[in-house]
Amino acid sequence: MIAVAQRVREARVEIDGHTVGQIAQGLLVLVCAEPQDTTAQARKLVDKLLKLRVFADDAGKMNLNVQQVQGGLLLVSQFTLAADTSGGNRPSFTGAAPPALGQALFDEVVRCAREQHADVATGRFGADMQVHLINDGPVTIPMRIGH
């Protein structure tokens, strides 16, 4: 799985002008499933996100995770993270999981996150979404959960 985690002061997802998910301080996470991904990788991604130490402690060092700061998780599916631009100027998205698998794995990420964390919001799989955020830092962490 591919993910991009952004430390945010606030973030929200809108669809057709309506907010469908929002958080205050926390992590906005863009998530992309690849064809060979499994539910085990989805669970591993959630574990990694919840333990990711990107929030400042009292000394200003990035030593705290999202749970320690009581932050939110805003999970947004984004198949374009699998873009391949090596063949020209138009990206290929064949590296992304087919829609049914992508949705099942994204749903597993959401389910696992909600089991372990109190403040979880989402976008809507496959929808045309507008994502609004205030990136804090900025801190943006690309992640790949192994094959």
Which pLDDT tens digit goes with each residue over 12-51?
A: 999 999 999 999 999 999 999 999 999 999 999 999 999 9
Residue 19 appears among annotated catalytic residues: no
Residue 43 and residue 108 in contact, taking contact as beta carbons nearer than 8 Å: yes
The tens digit of pLDDT for each residue in 46-83 reads 999 999 999 999 999 999 999 999 999 999 999 999 99
pTM of the model: 0.96
- When the candidates are 3.40.50.300, 2.60.420.10, 3.40.1280.10, 3.50.80.10, the CATH number that belongs to 2-144 is 3.50.80.10
94 in catalytic set = no
Helix 39-51 with 99-116: angle, nearest 10 deg: 40
Average pLDDT for residues 132-145, to the nearest whole number? 97
Cis peptide before 91 (omega within 30 of 0): no
In the predicted structure, residue 9 carries a pLDDT above the cut 70 = yes
Question: For residue 147, what pLDDT is reported?
Answer: 61
Active site residue 80: yes
Model pLDDT for residues 95-123, shown as the tens digit of each residue: 999 999 999 999 999 999 999 999 999 99
Choosing from 19, 36, 70, 80, the catalytic residue is 80
- pLDDT (0 to 100) of residue 146: 81
- Is residue 71 a contact partner of residue 113, using CB atoms and an 8 Å limit? no
CB 90 within 8 A of CB 143: no
Q: Which entry of 6, 41, 78, 122 is annotated as an active-site residue?
A: 78
| Domains of the chain, residue spans | 2-144
Please identify which of the residues 41, 55, 79, 106 carries the catalytic annotation: 79
| Tally of CA atoms within 13 A in the half-sphere of 53 that contains its CB | 6
